[in-house]
Amino acid sequence: MGEMPHEGDGLTRATSSRTRVEFCKRLQTKTLYRLRVWPRTCSLPLVPFPITVIIQKNEDSVPCDSRLKSRNIGVTRLVIAAVAMLTASSLQAQTTPADTLTVDQAVTLARTANPMLQAMRLRADAAAQRIPQAGAWQNPQLGLALRNRPLDGFGTDQPMTMNMIELGQQIPWPGKLGYAKERAEQLADADSLDADEVEAQLTARVKAAYYQLAFADRAIAIMDETRDLLRSFLEVSSTMYQVGTGLQQDVLQAQVAVAQMTEDITIVEQRRIAMAARLNALLGRGATVLIPGLQLPTTQEALPTVEALMAAAEAFRPALAAARARAEAAEAGYRASRRQLYPDFMVRVGYGQRPQFTDMLTLAVGVSIPLFAGSRQLPLRAEMLAMQAMEEARERDLYNETFARVAELRAEAERARSLTSLYINAVLPQARAAVESAFSAYRVGQVDYMTLVQNQMTVNRYEIESVRLAADYQRALAELQALVQPAAGSDR
């Protein structure tokens, strides 16, 4: 019996291998029937044992092996290093076909073309332009006047008559503009960090959609090849029924099994269309754009401890830094509101021209009086104090949610890694052995045909589940990377 590769042996399946299922017998006394079944070219090992069909009476038979050869392509390693500060990186170790869309290419496309990310970057740019506005004085006021002109001629022969020009400037109380500018700076930093957070989450969403789509492709391939095998079983059961050694029930059950597998393939194919549209939307392009072959790494490394991941999230997650910046902005706003009770100053300089008399100069200083502080300045102070408490509460909640999510994602990744190892090293070999045993029993009439089909469907289910777990691991790892590693281009 040839050694069969499992799902974890490669990122892509070989399409050049041809599964040969041959049923034959060697004549010792008399050959009653001889059948050879050559299914279509396939790439997934579904028959990991010699297959023999006896269509004879009181004759010995010799089995012919059915074997599959497949290419093994190098796999991608994702390593998360937790030494002081955690940074996750992907190391790609395989040759990528020309018609393959890699996950790095997909992420690059999303960062370049995704409209939401562009909107967040523009929002951050707009917030940066508010900083100089918040710290700037109001514009000075320039006034022109014809003062004290008599109505009976509008002349300039009176001593009080003059042509007046005035320049006035409002000067705020020290600290008002300083805290306002500090608040604007913190809010601009928060908006910039929000853009980094959106980019990190976009990267995670792109990777999640990418790996789910890769899973769908591989699941369809597995089910298609299982259907080919079931069709081969159908031909065998039909032949056995025709020569009188099989039951019509076996033929009908085989037909139902093929139809059920076709149903499952149809469902996954339609889901793939929806997932492809979602991935295209994240990449900022039309929903019907063709997506080429995708990669699905199968190497699954052990992750750092929860404590190390939480420390990395606290140090690197942009959303946490944005929450802290907003809390500091609220504190600066509260300090600025306390100074609203203090008066602002108004300084005016005027020059009066008197054509028939000596010119005159005017100097004036004024202050604002917070006469309505009870309905303006004091409620503003209370508002900013409440906003400061609100932002601090939001920051604490985001910390708690981040740490909880880190623990959840690590648990999901470890679950996928552990179950993948269990399925590949224990469940699948036993399931394949069960198929072999069932087939041996079926050929001598000890078990019915449905038992053979059910055992083969168990192999099919666990092979699909192994691929699903590989996709789940990569999705959880991508979300962890969005939480614990620095944003692209960040100096944090």
> Is 354 inside a domain boundary?
no
> Is 241 inside a domain boundary?
yes
Q: Reduce the DSSP state of residue 353 to 3 states and report it.
A: strand
Q: Reduce the DSSP state of residue 365 to 3 states and report it.
A: strand
Can you give the pLDDT at residue 492?
A: 54
pLDDT in tens, 84-135: 333 333 333 344 555 688 999 999 999 999 999 999 999 999 999 999 999 9
What does the DSSP assignment read for 30-52?
-----EEE-PPP--S----S-B-
Least reliable range by pLDDT among 50-64, 90-104, 305-319: 50-64
Q: 454: which residues sit within 8 A by CB, 6+ positions away?
A: none
Which pTM value belongs to this model? Answer: 0.71
> Is 363 inside a domain boundary?
no
> Is 269 inside a domain boundary?
yes
Number of domains making up the chain: 1
Can you give the pLDDT at residue 114?
A: 92
Beta bridge partners of 354: none
> Is 110 inside a domain boundary?
yes
261 versus 9: the higher-pLDDT residue is: 261
Q: With 70 as the cut, is the pLDDT of residue 422 above it?
A: yes
**What's phi and psi for 182, nearest 5 deg?**
-60, -40
Q: Are 127 and 191 in contact (CB under 8 A)?
A: yes
> Is 148 inside a domain boundary?
no
pLDDT in tens, 149-182: 888 777 777 788 888 999 999 999 998 999 999 9
Q: Are 392 and 328 in contact (CB under 8 A)?
A: no
Helix (H) or strand (E) holding 360: strand 360-367
Q: At 491, is the pLDDT very low, low, confident or very high (cuts 50, 70, 90)? A: low
Q: With 80 as the cut, is the pLDDT of residue 15 above it?
A: no
Domain range for 101 is 7-134+174-343+373-484
Strands 100-101 and 141-147: unpaired
> Is 195 inside a domain boundary?
yes
Q: With 90 as the cut, is the pLDDT of residue 37 above it?
A: no
CATH number where 465 lies: 1.20.1600.10
Least reliable range by pLDDT among 44-53, 99-108, 201-210, 481-490: 44-53
For the chain, the residue count is 492
> Is 364 inside a domain boundary?
no
pLDDT in tens, 322-369: 999 999 999 999 999 999 889 999 999 999 988 888 888 999 999 988
Highest mean pLDDT range out of 76-85, 206-215, 250-259?
206-215
Beta strands in 160-251 (DSSP E): 162-171
